[in-house]
Chains A and B, each alone.
Chain A
Amino acid sequence: MVKLSAIKSFFISFGIFIFFMILFLFSEKRGINYLTMKVIYSFFLGLITFLIFFTGKISLYRSIFFITSAISFIIVYKFKLWGITGNFFIAPQRNIPEVPFCHIALTSNFFITFFDQLKALFLYGWDKWGFYTLGIVYIFSTLSIGQGFCSWGCFYGGIDEGISKILKKPIFKVKSISPKLRDLPLGLLIFLMLSSLVLMEPVFCIWFCPLKMTTSILNNSDTYIYKMQIIIFLLIGIIFLILLPLFIKKRTFCSFICPFGAFISIAGRINPFKIEIINDICVKCGKCIEVCPSFAINNEYKVNNYCTKCFLCIEKCKENAIKLTINKQFNVYNYYFFILSAIILGGTISSFFIPEALIIILNR
């Protein structure tokens, strides 16, 4: 486990604080209020970094950061939606693009956009290019920490993680599941890409995405279809985002629905960071399988590609048998590389809404 002295932890976290301060000083142009909040936010990131390194409790402090990010995201976009439509939940008449370029929509839009870009290349010209520039940024972030994006960068993931932490003990104990079931989001991803291509619309966003509960609902002129969409996404939301995480203490939306998670589980394979269980030390007590929120450890004590690098298993393993490796090699510096990359990535993404959420809260 990574655990440093107060001085070393301070210097590392100070580096993070300064990094974000410089970033915000040059990029923030909306005035002193926003800048102040970003200074506070930089301090928050520095503090989280300090606590991670000083206490060694990676999962706990990651979780605090992650859930803060999700809550801030909801606050900011709900208030924007309120500002535009006067309604917190549904934008009945208009499509309101109040969400930033959404990484979950990226997956189901992939083929449509590819087709459009192909047409742009042959018919309309280069000025239509755009998706790939943004897409590449996402893919780079995925490659830098792999599926760790799901536990450090995704501003939706903190919702089911937050709900899964409400109860101390699960009401229903689900230790492991069939590996085939764990491939469900990947199957859903392939289906969504294909159906989106045929229908020329982002099928996931329109029909399935329960995260619309945090933003707004896409519109459809056919009221029957519109009602069906609401029923489907609400059911998915209530079951996978609220009830299951609450009752079984697992991230069920991320594990069984999210097509973006499935997408980066494939793209992230080339990422060198891996969580591995050292067979010689492991006493097969089953604790890691029990606590893993992502069903990422199978009954043979192997970590699969769906591990989101939340570090909970590492923290809970009494034998210290679980390590973060780079290309199968363990070194304590692996933790520094990973955590710093993850905080820089997650911190940059969340900088779009945590400071703004602070402003909204303070103004109320």
Chain B
Amino acid sequence: METINGFLLGLSAGINCLIICCPYLIPFFISEHRNTNKNFGLILEYLAGRLSAYLIIGIISSILGLTLNEFHLSSRIYSFFLILSSFILFLHSFGLTFELNFLNVNAKIVTDRIPFLTGFLNGFNFCPPLIAAFSYGVSSANILKSILFFIFFFFGTALYILPFIFLNFAAKVENLRNAGRIAGIFVSIWFFIQGIYLLFKV
């Protein structure tokens, strides 16, 4: 039952995941031309990052037996993750746009490790379906069941993220690659401002 429920909730939540992930994934995938296999690998890394975040939420929810509303720090935690992921995207996009090297390491090598981290940080976004999943985790009061539920919730949402692999077609166009990098800079500034705003609003 956990598997079906988790998967269905994931499917219905996926469109929200898409909206949350688009601003990170579209600039990231457009900004460099890679082949489809490489993109597939990067998406898997991103999804693995998100799965780890879900598992951590699942475990915490079971252990604490708290709802997210009782979890007062949630917005503050999210704002922290938002600021962190905006930094990562900024380093990636800025580095690529101006062909910079960070700490003598080529920006490209550093930023290719980014998807896992970004996925992990984005996984903590407390959107309504995640809150629903969280409360289910709490009500199940069983760590194994809760983890199973979150894994299938993840599979449901992952279906929406997979098509990003094919953005490599857009990345073939040089103007779009440049534009992807510039968009990444804008998105990171925007998320940074939002993160700061959220932090002080709480």
Instruction: Spell out A's residues near B (CB within 8 Å).
Output: 111, 115, 179-180, 183-184, 186-191, 194-195, 197-198, 262, 265-266, 305
Q: Does residue B111 face the partner (Cβ distance < 8 Å to A)? A: no
Chain B residue contacts of A183, Cβ below 8 A? 175, 178-179, 182
CB-defined interface of B9-40 with A at 8 Å, one 1/0 digit per residue? Answer: 00000010001101100110010000000000
Chain A's closest residue to B97 (CB) is: A180
Interface centre among A183, A197, A266 (most CB of B within 10 A): A183
Given contacts A191-B186, A194-B183, whether A186 and B23 have CB atoms under 8 Å apart is no
- Size of chain B's interface in residues, with CB distance under 8 A? 22
Specify which of B15, B173, B175, B178 lies most central, judged by the most chain A CB atoms within 10 Å of its CB.
Answer: B175
Report if B92 contacts A (CB, 8 A). no
Query: Which residues does chain A contribute within 8 Å of B182, judged by CB atoms?
Result: 180, 183-184, 186-188, 190-191
Q: How far is the CA of A186 from the CA of B179 in the complex (A)?
A: 5
A116 to chain B, nearest CB (A): 12
**Contact yes or no, A265 B175, CB < 8 A:** yes
Residues of A within 8 A of B181 (CB): 187
Residue of A nearest to B30 (CB): A190
Write the nearest CB–CB distance from A225 to chain B, whole angstroms.
10
Interface residues of B (CB under 8 A from A): 15, 19-20, 22-23, 26-27, 30, 97, 173, 175-176, 178-183, 185-187, 190
Q: Can you list 6 contacts pairing A with B, beta carbon distance less than 8 Å? A: A111-B22, A186-B179, A189-B179, A190-B180, A195-B186, A198-B22
- What chain B residues lie within 8 Å of A198 (beta carbons)? 19-20, 22-23
A183 to B177, CA, bound (A): 9
Neighbour of A266 across the interface among B20, B27, B176, B183, CB < 8 A: B176
What residues of A have a CB within 8 angstroms of the CB of B176 in the complex?
186, 266
Across chains A and B, which 4 residue pairs bring their CB atoms closest together, nearest first? A187-B182, A186-B179, A190-B183, A191-B186
A115 cross-chain contacts in B, Cβ below 8 A: 15, 19
- Whether A187 pairs with B190 at a CB distance below 8 angstroms is no
Find B185's partner among A111, A187, A194, A266 (CB 8 Å cutoff). Answer: A187
Smallest CB gap from A180: residue in B: B178
Q: Which listed residue, B20, B179, B190, touches A190 by the CB 8 Å rule?
A: B179
* Contact across chains for A194 and B23 when beta carbons are under 8 A apart: yes
Contact B97 A188 (CB under 8 A): no
CB closest residue in chain B, given A203:
B190
Q: Does B19 contact A186, Cβ atoms closer than 8 Å?
A: no
A180 to B94, CA, bound (A): 12
The docked-state distance in angstroms from the alpha carbon of A123 to that of B175 is: 37
